[in-house]
Amino acid sequence: MDDLLDHVGKIQATQQKMQKGVGNGLDNLSKLLEQAKEAIAADPSNTTQALQRLQQNANKLYQKEGDGSKQGDDDKAGKDKEFYKIQRKFHGAVNKFSKDIDRRFTHDLSVISNPSAFAGKENLMRRALAIHFIRQGQFELCDAFMAEAGIDEEDELRLTTELLKKEFHRMYSILQSLDEGQELTEAIKWAQAHHEELKKLGSNLEFDLHRLRFIQLLREQRQMEALAYGQKHFFLFADKHMTEIKRMMTSIIYYRDLTTSPYADLCSPTLWIEIRQEFQRDFCSLLSMSAESPLYASVLVGTTALPVILKLYKIVSATKTEWSQQDELPVELPLSDDLRFHSIFACPVSKEQATDENPPMMMPCGHVICRESLMRLSRSSNCRYGRNSMRFKCPYCPSESSADQAIQVYF
């Protein structure tokens, strides 16, 4: 990889040298054209003479002043030869670099693909695509896709998409008002209409919208309106945001120039980016949907995992070994926290990671182990204390219980 980076540096240096020569020539030619244009505009009757002077001056760009014609021709030829040499060198380096890239980074992805994973799941794929288009605000594209896919008018997916269209049309309308004019009215109305639902989510959206409106009024030198606005709306959030409310009320003192005050962070442009993301996330949460499209997340995870899986395939092929564990990889994928949707539970008894077939089970005492460990403890108790003995001791405390008393835990 280092040699490729060195190659890129050489290509850039050659390109800059070539660009400098071309740029200087074009600048000089542009000046000559402007001079000729001005001369013709001042005296149209001398157009022929002006064009002749333009041609003469253009030829002189390739000649050294004061040299004879033969020397000038030699200089011109030398400059042309040097330029074409640099140009050939540049194109040769680019072609070589292109071949190096193809040789090093072209992989046959078919060796790690699994087409059978999508077999019989056409309806799920269509649903994922249709809902993805709606979530992206591409409503017409969704209609065209469902028509071309031959989805029946009475299909449940049609009803689902129609309901989602209304919701996401409202969301994008509000987001557009936030983006284009920093208009908060519609967003605040929506948040107030869903006050209880947002409260159950533990969301700060409504408070953050009121805070932004307060700052807007303050920056518009409408400090008394800002004070009245804060008194009207902030009391609802006093139990959770009292420190921030005090700080905002104190910032009124600096209303003349808030950007240079100790409260300058209240004017940060990132607040608008954050409120947009927060609104979109909470809007989707109230629809029981994730902030990002599941299709987008799946593609992102897949492309992130490709290099790791390709490397694993090469190692397995070279060592002629096989990985027999289904639905599990022997390596960790480098995923960011926002792409980790499920908690990972490792059984404290067997040290194995929980799966759908071997889920975590909580005993009456509150300790959690995997189902297989639970059943082994139960069978061990039968062998030790007799066939009719169903109770066993928890491996972490003195309490006893039976396998049927344990309940499955969902993280």
Residue 62: what pLDDT? 56
Where among 224, 254, 287 does a domain terminate?
Answer: 287
Q: Is residue 351 part of a domain?
A: no
Distance CA 315, CA 330 (A): 12
As to burial, measured by CB atoms within 10 angstroms (0-12 exposed, 13-18 middle, 19+ buried), residue 2 is exposed
Q: Is residue 61 part of a domain?
A: no
Q: Is residue 343 part of a domain?
A: no
Residue 91: what pLDDT? 80
Q: Residue 403's domain spans which residues?
A: 360-408
Residue 176: what pLDDT? 92
Residue 68: what pLDDT? 46
Where among 257, 287, 317 does a domain terminate?
Answer: 287
Distance CA 186, CA 214 (A): 15
Q: Is residue 263 part of a domain?
A: yes
Q: Is residue 376 part of a domain?
A: yes
Q: Is residue 161 part of a domain?
A: no
Q: Which residues contact 241 (CB under 8 A, 6 or more apart)?
A: 204, 207, 234
Q: Which residues contact 29 (CB under 8 A, 6 or more apart)?
A: 58, 61
pLDDT tens track of the chain, all 411 residues? 666 677 777 778 777 777 776 777 777 788 888 888 888 888 888 888 888 888 887 777 655 444 444 555 555 555 556 666 777 777 888 888 777 777 766 677 777 777 787 888 888 889 999 999 999 999 999 999 989 988 888 888 888 899 999 999 999 999 999 988 889 999 999 999 999 999 998 999 999 999 999 999 998 889 999 999 999 999 888 888 999 999 999 989 888 888 888 888 888 889 999 999 999 999 999 998 888 888 888 888 888 888 888 888 888 777 777 665 566 667 777 777 777 766 678 888 888 888 888 899 999 999 999 999 998 888 887 655 555 557 888 888 888 888 889 999 887
Where among 231, 259, 287 does a domain terminate?
Answer: 287
Residue 332: what pLDDT? 76
Q: Which residues contact 380 (CB under 8 A, 6 or more apart)?
A: 392
Residue 15: what pLDDT? 77
Residue 384: what pLDDT? 56
The number of domains in the chain is: 2
Distance CA 363, CA 377 (A): 12
Q: Is residue 41 part of a domain?
A: no
Q: Is residue 216 part of a domain?
A: yes
